[in-house]
Structures are given as structure tokens and as C-alpha cells.
Amino acid sequence: MQPSRKVLTLIILAFFLAILFSYFIWFDLAEFYLFPIALLLVYLAIFQTETLFLSLAFFTPFSINIEEFSKSFGLFIPTEPLLFGLMLILLFFQFKTPFVDKQIWKHPIIISVLVFISWMFVTAITSSNVLVSFKFIISKLWFIVPILFFGTHFFKKEANRNWFILLFIIATSCTIIYTLIHHSTYDFGEKAGHWVMSPFFKDHTIYGAIIAMIIPLLLSWYFSEKYAPLIQISLIGIIIIVFFGLYFSYTRAAWLSIAIAIIVGLIIHFKVNFKLLLFLASLACIFLFFQWDTIQMELARNTHEHTTEAFDERIQSAANVTTDASNLERINRWNCALSMFQQRPIFGYGPGTYALEYAPFQEAKNLTIISTNFGDMGNAHSEYLGALAEMGLIGLLTFIAFVIAIFYSAIQLYYSWPADDKQTRIKIFGMILSLTTYFSHAFLNNFLDTDKAAIPVLAMCSIIIVLDLKRRQIR
């Protein structure tokens, strides 16, 4: 849809008038600068919707939560306002002239998401805080609707698929460079490594999770085709920077998620038989059952702290459940989630309510030096247990169904994609491993309520849906 010259002239005129006007006002009224920016975004949303959609990939790593600088509600700027506006505009276009492929509604990923959202609405009605739960659902929808649902329209173009991923990688690499430079002024110390990524990331845990997520994407894009020497050197440089960022993130869960992704990648590549995996998993469970007392004794002897800067000691500290405050606090949150589930096993306490409800469920024996009696220190530190506490057993099962649908669809897509199209096949493999890093990390943390994780995860799901539908048409 192209704007008329009259409309474009008015927007440009308003832009310069706003700048001229704001030049003469007091400094404390500088928010008038937002007016022309808002007009520009409205123009892009209506007349250059595809461009605005792709720009989200670049804006996401740079987004800032205004809650960090004020006592107001949490909102990621500029991504969440853009997502909300884009959702409304795309819904308007869809109702006016439907443009989304009807076949997507039959896809397992979409069906699982719709079931998950439906149960979320049910549990919001029975929530301990209905207002909080419905606000939480709305915030979920402005991720899901424009990125997952309408993304299937934009990602039909191969160029859009490539640009979205590459823009996200480039922008994330820029935040890594910023963090490394900032961190170097503190001699790459472990304690500073927890916050030097601010204001772009809240802490090192989500920073490490996103770095782990882009590593398989970056490597798959690098190996998928031959580039000109300059581009190839640039990509190698970015890969080196990203690995430095991962190392100095001091995020154990991110390192472990990369290791899990490598194992999953080997299993998929060599087509290891599912029955064999099930057999090995059963043997592992039997071993744990008979050796549990011995394992507990060994865990009790582990006194390695996560505050050390040595790589091997930090990895060992992941199993320290005796003195490591970070691990003990995570266990405290998990116990609270399980206790909340036992209290409300069917409907849970309602979407988005964990942080408001977990405090009374803390037991004195589980409290740590970083615990708070007010329960104002965040979430359940697990996507899975968070869903269990907030939406009951059915909520957990619907979330697991969503995860299964993603990996089942993606792996089947990888195996059945035409062998002569190696570029796309390698990129599909990269997305599988990227999603593996996140959903393995999700056992220890939950970030899908933030733009940093939700946008790339849902974008990859949308791309998988598009390619899956394309594969079916080819066959």
C-alpha cells in the first residue's frame, strides 16, 4: 500500500514542526521529540509494514525495560509498543482482506499454541489476581499474534527469513561488543559480569541465554553457503566475538545448553534410533534410583562456588547444592512452585502471578542469603515449573505439547527437506539447535515473557511452519 504525496508531505511537515517546537521548550518537556518519531512509526506500520516487521529483529537486542529506570510498570521500549501497534494494524488488515495462509491453522505448532492460550484464558478467570493475569495474556498475545501468526505471511519470502535472523544476530553482536568493552574496564571480573550488559539485558542469565541461542544460528548461516572473502572474514570475526561473549557471560546454564545442543545435534545428524534413546534413558533412571544416596553424598561434598572465574570450577559449581546461593535460591523457587501446584493443582494461581504468590510458600530451611520475605525477586526460574504453578497440570502439559510440536515439526522438516537444497537444510538444523539451547535452558530459567527470548523463539517457529507448508506443497 503506497501513501499519497499529500499524506507523506503532511507527515514530513509535522516531523519538522515538532522538532522546531521542541527546540524552544524547556528541557523537562523533551518528550515532544517522541511525537515525530511516533508519526514515523505510524507511517511505517501502515505503508511499510514488512519493513517495520523486519526492524523488530534489529530493535530487540537493543530494547530497554523502562522499569529499570522508574517505578512504573515493566515495558520494553521500543519493541513492545511496536508489537502492540503492529498486532492491531495486522488484525485490521486481516479482517478487511484476509492475507494469512489458512493452512497454518492446521499446523501442529499453531494448534498447540491455540490450546495453550485457551487454557491460559481459563486459568486467568480463576486467577488469584484476574487483572494481572489478563494483562499478562495481552502481553503474550502481542508477541504471539504478530510474530508467530502473521510472521508466516512475511516469512514466505526467503529474503525476509534471512534478513530477520541476520539482523537479530548483528544487533546481538553489537550488544556483546558493548558488554565486552564495558566489562574490560572491570578486568572481566566475575561480579561485574552480572550487570555490565545493562541496560540492554537485565542480568547475565538472559544475556548468556540469548548468546547461546544465536551461536547455532550464526554457525549454520556461515556454513550454509560460500561468501565473498570480506563477508566471510566479517562472519568469522562475529563468531569469535560471540564466543568471547559467551565465555565472559559467566552463565553456567548457557554453557550447559550449548553442550546439550551439541548432543542433540549429533543424535539428529546420525539418526540415532528413538528406541535406543529410550532404552538408554531407562538405564540412566535405574542407575539414578539405585545410586541416589551415593550421588547425594557426592553433591554434598561439592563446594565450588559460581563466583569463581575459572571455567572448570564454574561448571562444577552447577552441581553445588550445599553452599552455592544461586543454586539454593533456584531450588527454593522450584519448591515454591511445586507447593503452589499442590495447593491449586488444576487451575494454578493464574498466568503471571507467581512473583506475587510464592513468598508464603518459602520454607525456612530453603531460604538463602538472597531470598526475600516479600517474594519480589522474580519468577520460578523454570518455564515448566512456572507453567505448573500458574496454570496447573494442564497448563504444564499444554506447554510441553507446544515444545514437542516445535521439535517434532522441525526435525521431520530437516529429514524430509530436499537434499539438493543444502543451504536451507543447514539453516533448519541451526534453528533446531538454537531452539534446543533455549528449551533446555528453560528448565533453569524462564524468559519467554521478555522480548529478548520470545521474539527470536517465535520467529523461528514461524519460519519452521512456513518451510513445513512449503515442503508439503513440493511433495
Q: What rounded mean pLDDT belongs to the chain?
A: 84
The residue among 72 and 145 whose pLDDT is bigger is 145
Query: Distance between CA 448 and CA 144 in Å, rounded?
Result: 11
Mean pLDDT of 195-201: 91
> ω into residue 36 within 30 of 0, thus cis?
no
pLDDT at residue 36 is higher than 80: no
Query: Distance between CA 463 and CA 220 in Å, rounded?
Result: 15
- pLDDT of amino acid 25: 43
| Segments making up each domain of the chain, as ranges | 1-47
- pLDDT of amino acid 157: 94
* Low-confidence winner among 219-223, 291-295, 426-430 (lowest mean pLDDT): 291-295
pLDDT at residue 319 is higher than 60: no
Query: Distance between CA 151 and CA 50 in Å, rounded?
Result: 10
- pLDDT of amino acid 225: 84
Mean pLDDT of 352-360: 90
**Residue that has been written with the C-alpha cell 512504573 in this structure:** 72
pLDDT tens digit sequence for 416-441: 999 889 999 999 999 999 999 999 99
**H helix or E strand, kind and range, residue 313:** helix 311-317
Mean pLDDT of 135-155: 94
What does the angle CA 108 – CA 111 – CA 115 come to, to the nearest 5 degrees? 135
* Low-confidence winner among 33-47, 172-186, 324-338, 342-356 (lowest mean pLDDT): 33-47
> Could you tell me which residues come within 8 angstroms of residue 462 by beta carbon, excluding any fewer than 6 positions away?
147, 148, 149, 151, 152, 155
Query: Distance between CA 258 and CA 392 in Å, rounded?
Result: 30
